[in-house]
């Protein structure tokens, strides 16, 4: 009986180390699954939808008829000609109303400013230096909502045609149809390996999701964006921190719109129309009427209370937008952009340091 008991005991004794080995393998597999953002869930946000936890609600900021950019997917720098679109001499994203809304809602202003790494008192100046554009590719961002007095965050893909405000380095910074602040996506997220939630749209493909990186800080901030109209029939330049009234004349489309290839670098055109320049905007020091440099990376959030500034009156020209269908859960809202236009913003030099490149 001694021998029998010993024989029966052996399988039990082996089971414990075997179970431990299985547990270790499961843990290792979980670790591997997290590598490269493979386990991330990215929320798809369609044009006209504010998405979850919006700061506010704004109609008419997006377009459903934006022609897709030929070169989609991969990583693009924020100053690439034709990366963004817009309607010449018009804008549907009203910066003044966003400033007024945040000043009227100090709790939201504190959360909003914290995401951008600026003091609350600096919100008006910060927003006034942003430029309204339309996305021309499905774009990966980190979307920051507002819930229970705090900012939330999560990876999201914004559908092409959505209106955004971009900073001086060409990075999407505000989602116009809800006021949510945006920041660059985490580097570990893989758009091809991640899972996706939210309603899809025709033509959506993981491989066509674009990741936008800041312009090289050594070149200074962008002085003018080369945009493409929604029908992709012409290009035009929009000076930074303006809302359409200072747009340049029609130009030939950037070569990336007519030629297949991996490069986004501009090149001369044989068209009779004016052609966008082939050099990056200069880095002259800012003077009167010239926006100063910005920092595209993270900054230390400020703790100052909301400033008493009152935004100058004005509104943007209406665009062919879509009405918000998904109201989300945000409290309060901003009015739909009305008639009229804005003159170019005259801004003081920035005191923010240039970003450090690694």
Checking if the pLDDT of 128 tops 70, the result is yes
pLDDT confidence of 272, banded at 50, 70, 90? very low
pLDDT confidence of 168, banded at 50, 70, 90? very high
- Mean pLDDT on 14-25: 42
pLDDT at 291: 44
pLDDT confidence of 312, banded at 50, 70, 90? very low
Extents of the domains making up the chain: 39-257
pLDDT at 79: 98
pLDDT at 125: 98
Q: What is the pLDDT of residues 195-233, one digit of tens each?
A: 999 999 999 999 999 999 999 999 999 999 999 999 999
pLDDT at 38: 52
Q: What is the pLDDT of residues 94-118, one digit of tens each?
A: 999 999 999 999 999 999 999 999 9
pLDDT at 266: 37
Q: What is the pLDDT of residues 228-257, one digit of tens each?
A: 999 999 999 999 999 999 999 999 999 989
Higher pLDDT, 77 or 284: 77
SS (H, E, C) the chain: CHHHHHHHHHHHHHHHHHHHHHHHHHHHHHHHHHHHHCCCEEEEECCCCCCCCCCCCCCCCCCCCCCCCCCCCEEEECCCCCCEECCCCCCCCCHHHHHHHHHHCHHHHHHHHHHHCCCHHHHHHHHHCCEEEEECCCEEEEECCEECCEECCEEEEECCCCEEEECCCCCEEEECCCCEEEECCCCCCCCCCCEEECCCCCCCCHHHCEEEECCCHHHCCCCEEEEECCCCCCEEEEECCCCCCCCCCCECCCHHHCCCCCCCCCCCCCCCCECCCCCCCCCCCCCCCCCCCCCCCCCCCCCCCCCCCCCCCCCCCCCCCCCCCCCCCCCCCCCCCCCCCCCCCCCCCCCCCCCCCC
pLDDT at 40: 81
- Provide the mean pLDDT of the chain: 75
Q: What is the pLDDT of residues 336-354, one digit of tens each?
A: 444 433 333 333 334 334 4
Q: List the single range of 126-130, 182-186, 293-297 with lowest mean pLDDT.
A: 293-297
Q: What is the pLDDT of residues 145-167, one digit of tens each?
A: 999 999 999 999 999 999 999 99
Rounded to two decimals, the pTM is 0.68
pLDDT confidence of 258, banded at 50, 70, 90? confident
Q: List the single range of 30-44, 99-113, 129-143, 203-217 with lowest mean pLDDT.
A: 30-44
């Amino acid at each position: 009986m001694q021998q029998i008991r010993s024989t029966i005991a052996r399988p039990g004794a082996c089971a414990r180390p075997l179970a431990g080995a299985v547990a270790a393998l499961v843990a290792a597999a979980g670790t591997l699954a997290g590598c490269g953002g493979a386990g991330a869930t990215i929320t798809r946000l369609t044009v006209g939808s504010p998405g979850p936890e919006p700061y506010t609600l704004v109609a008419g900021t997006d377009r459903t008829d934006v022609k897709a950019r030929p070169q989609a997917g991969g990583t693009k720098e924020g100053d690439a000609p034709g990366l963004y679109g817009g309607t010449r001499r018009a804008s549907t994203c009203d910066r003044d109303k966003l400033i007024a809304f945040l000043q009227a809602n100090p709790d939201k202003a504190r959360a909003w400013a914290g995401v951008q790494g600026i003091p609350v008192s600096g919100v008006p100046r910060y927003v006034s230096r942003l430029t309204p554009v339309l996305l021309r590719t499905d774009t990966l961002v980190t979307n920051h909502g507002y819930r229970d007095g705090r900012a939330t965050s999560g990876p999201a893909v914004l559908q092409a045609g959505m209106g955004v405000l971009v900073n001086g380095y060409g990075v999407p910074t505000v989602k116009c149809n809800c006021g949510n602040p945006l920041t660059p996506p985490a580097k570990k997220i893989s758009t091809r390996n991640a899972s996706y939630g939210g309603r899809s749209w025709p033509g959506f493909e993981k491989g066509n999701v674009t990741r936008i990186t800041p312009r090289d800080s050594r070149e200074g901030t962008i002085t003018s964006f080369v945009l493409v109209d929604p029908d992709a029939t012409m290009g035009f330049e929009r000076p930074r921190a303006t809302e359409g009234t200072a747009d340049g004349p029609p130009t030939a489309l950037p070569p990336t719109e007519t030629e297949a290839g991996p490069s986004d670098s501009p090149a001369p055109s044989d068209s009779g129309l004016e052609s966008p320049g082939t050099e990056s905007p200069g880095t002259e020091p800012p003077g009167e009427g010239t926006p100063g440099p910005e920092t595209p990376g993270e900054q230390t959030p400020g703790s100052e209370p909301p400033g008493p500034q009152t935004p100058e009156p004005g509104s943007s020209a209406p665009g062919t937008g879509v009405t918000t269908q998904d109201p989300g859960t945000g409290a309060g809202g901003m009015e739909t952009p009305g008639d009229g236009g804005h003159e170019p913003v005259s801004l003081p030099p920035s005191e923010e340091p240039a970003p450090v490149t690694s």
